[in-house]
A and B are shown apart, each in its own frame.
Chain A
Amino acid sequence: MMTTLNQLFEDDAYKLGGDDKSAVICDHLGLLAEHHYAHCPPYKAICDAFGANTAKSISNASEAFSLPVRIFKHYELKSIIDDSNVKTLTSSGTTSQQVSKIFLDKQTSQYQTKALSCIMRSYLGPKRLPMIILDSDAILKNRQMFSARGGGILGMSNFGRKHLYLFDEDMKVKYDALDEFLDQHAGSPIFLFGFTFMIWLHLIKELEKTGKTLNIDSATMVHSGGWKKLESEKVDNAAFRQRVAAATGIERIFNFYGMVEQMGSVYMECEQGHFHASVFSEVVIRDPLTGEALGVGEPGVIETLSILPHSYPGHAILTEDQGVIHGQDDCKCGRNGTHFSILGRLPKAEVRGCSDTYES
Chain B
Amino acid sequence: MNLNEHYQVVCPRDNAIEHLIGSQLLDPFSEETLQFTSALSSALMRDGRTAGIPEVTALAFWMRKANVISMQKDFLQPADNFRLPRGTVFHIAPSNVDTIFVYSLFLSLFCGNRNIVRISSTPNAQVDAILAVMNDIISAHPVVAQSMMIVRYEHSEEVSRYFSSLCDVRMIWGGDETIRRIRSIPLPPRAKELTFADRFSLAVLDAEQFLNADDSAMQSCIEGFYRDSYWFDQMACSSPRLVCWRGGEQRLIREAQTVFWNRVEELLVTEEYSTAPALAMDKLVAQCRFAIEAPSPISIEKTSSLRLARVESNSIPLEFREVHCGGGLFLEIHIESLADLLHCVDQKVQTMTCFGIDKKDVTAFLAESKPSGIDRVVKFGDALNFSEQWDGYGLLNELTRCVDVQVL
Residues of A within 8 A of B (CB): 42, 45-46, 48-51, 67-68, 70-71, 74-75, 288-291, 301, 318, 320, 322, 346-360
Interface of A, helix, strand, loop or mixed by DSSP: loop
Residues of A within 8 A of B155 (CB): 358-360
Task: Give A320 to B287 CA distance when docked, in angstroms.
Answer: 16
Report which of B95, B196, B299 forms a contact with A357, defined as CB distance below 8 A: B95
B250 an interface residue at 8 Å Cβ cutoff?
A: no
Given A68-B285, A75-B292, answer yes or no on A360-B122 (Cβ-Cβ < 8 Å). yes
Q: What distance in Å separates the Cβ of B327 from its nearest Cβ neighbour in chain A?
A: 7
Residues of B within 8 A of A74 (CB): 285, 289
Minimum CB distance partner of A50 in chain B: B300
Residues of A within 8 A of B287 (CB): 49-50
Let me know if B177 and A358 touch, CB within 8 A: yes
Let me know if A320 and B235 touch, CB within 8 A: no
Given A352-B232, A355-B198, answer yes or no on A288-B281 (Cβ-Cβ < 8 Å). yes
B356 an interface residue at 8 Å Cβ cutoff?
A: no
Task: Give A347 to B288 CA distance when docked, in angstroms.
Answer: 21
Enumerate the 7 nearest inter-chain pairs by beta-carbon distance, A residue then B residue, closest first. Answer: A353-B235, A356-B175, A288-B277, A49-B291, A357-B95, A349-B279, A358-B178
Q: What distance in Å separates the Cβ of A230 from its nearest Cβ neighbour in chain B?
A: 21
Task: Give A75 to B291 CA distance when docked, in angstroms.
Answer: 12
Residues of B within 8 A of A68 (CB): 281, 284-285, 288
Output the residue of A348, A351, A353, A359 with the most chain B CB within 10 A. Answer: A353
Residues of A within 8 A of B300 (CB): 49-51
Residues of B within 8 A of A360 (CB): 95, 120-122, 155
Let me know if B95 and A353 touch, CB within 8 A: no
Task: Give A70 to B285 CA distance when docked, in angstroms.
Answer: 7
Q: What distance in Å separates the Cβ of B297 from its nearest Cβ neighbour in chain A?
A: 6
Task: Give A350 to B122 CA distance when docked, in angstroms.
Answer: 13
Interface of B, helix, strand, loop or mixed by DSSP: loop
Let me know if A289 and B120 touch, CB within 8 A: no
Residues of A within 8 A of B307 (CB): 289
B44 an interface residue at 8 Å Cβ cutoff?
A: no
Minimum CB distance partner of A300 in chain B: B277
Minimum CB distance partner of A357 in chain B: B95
Size of interface on B: residues with Cβ below 8 Å to A: 57
Minimum CB distance partner of A359 in chain B: B155
Task: Give A48 to B292 CA distance when docked, in angstroms.
Answer: 10
Given A289-B307, A353-B232, answer yes or no on A48-B291 (Cβ-Cβ < 8 Å). yes
Let me know if A288 and B306 touch, CB within 8 A: yes
Q: What distance in Å separates the Cβ of B323 from its nearest Cβ neighbour in chain A?
A: 9
Let me know if B288 and A67 touch, CB within 8 A: yes
Residues of B within 8 A of A347 (CB): 276-278
Task: Give A360 to B276 CA distance when docked, in angstroms.
Answer: 22
B73 an interface residue at 8 Å Cβ cutoff?
A: no
Residues of A within 8 A of B239 (CB): 353
Output the residue of B177, B278, B307 with the most chain A CB within 10 A. Answer: B278
A-B contact pairs, 27 of them (CB 8 A): A42-B291, A45-B291, A45-B292, A46-B291, A49-B287, A49-B290, A49-B298, A49-B299, A50-B287, A50-B291, A50-B300, A71-B288, A288-B277, A288-B306, A289-B277, A346-B278, A349-B276, A352-B97, A353-B97, A353-B326, A354-B175, A357-B95, A357-B174, A357-B175, A357-B178, A358-B177, A359-B155
Minimum CB distance partner of B234 in chain A: A353
Interface positions of B from 257 to 282, Cβ below 8 Å from A: 275-282
Let me know if A289 and B306 touch, CB within 8 A: yes
Residues of B within 8 A of A46 (CB): 288, 291-292
B94 an interface residue at 8 Å Cβ cutoff?
A: yes
Let me know if B96 and A352 touch, CB within 8 A: yes
Bits for B350-379, please: 1 = Cβ < 8 Å to A, else 0: 000000000000000000000000000000
B251 an interface residue at 8 Å Cβ cutoff?
A: no
Task: Give A303 to B38 CA distance when docked, in angstroms.
Answer: 55
Report which of B94, B100, B281, B306 forms a contact with A346, defined as CB distance below 8 A: B281
Task: Give A289 to B233 CA distance when docked, in angstroms.
Answer: 15
Given A45-B291, A49-B298, A346-B281, answer yes or no on A351-B276 (Cβ-Cβ < 8 Å). no
Task: Give A346 to B182 CA distance when docked, in angstroms.
Answer: 35
Q: What distance in Å separates the Cβ of B251 from its nearest Cβ neighbour in chain A?
A: 20
Q: Can you name 10 extra interface pairs (CB under 8 A) apart from A49-B298, A74-B289?
A: A49-B288, A67-B288, A289-B277, A289-B306, A347-B278, A349-B276, A354-B174, A355-B96, A357-B122, A357-B178
Residues of B within 8 A of A290 (CB): 304-306
Bits for B189-208, please: 1 = Cβ < 8 Å to A, else 0: 00000001011000000000
Q: What distance in Å separates the Cβ of B379 from its nearest Cβ neighbour in chain A?
A: 21
B242 an interface residue at 8 Å Cβ cutoff?
A: no
Q: What distance in Å separates the Cβ of B161 from its nearest Cβ neighbour in chain A?
A: 14
Minimum CB distance partner of A49 in chain B: B291
B331 an interface residue at 8 Å Cβ cutoff?
A: no
Let me know if A346 and B235 touch, CB within 8 A: no
Task: Give A289 to B279 CA distance when docked, in angstroms.
Answer: 9
Minimum CB distance partner of B231 in chain A: A352
Given A49-B290, A289-B280, answer yes or no on A354-B97 (Cβ-Cβ < 8 Å). yes
Bits for B106-122, please: 1 = Cβ < 8 Å to A, else 0: 00000000000000111
Residues of A within 8 A of B327 (CB): 349
Task: Give A180 to B342 CA distance when docked, in angstroms.
Answer: 76
Task: Give A341 to B177 CA distance when docked, in angstroms.
Answer: 42
B236 an interface residue at 8 Å Cβ cutoff?
A: yes
Q: What distance in Å separates the Cβ of B273 from its nearest Cβ neighbour in chain A?
A: 11
Given A71-B288, A318-B284, A355-B235, answer yes or no on A48-B297 (Cβ-Cβ < 8 Å). yes
Task: Give A67 to B290 CA distance when docked, in angstroms.
Answer: 14
Interface positions of B from 225 to 243, Cβ below 8 Å from A: 232-237, 239
Residues of B within 8 A of A322 (CB): 277
Q: What distance in Å separates the Cβ of A20 from its nearest Cβ neighbour in chain B?
A: 32
Q: What distance in Å separates the Cβ of B92 from its nearest Cβ neighbour in chain A?
A: 7
Minimum CB distance partner of A290 in chain B: B305
Residues of B within 8 A of A45 (CB): 291-292, 294, 297
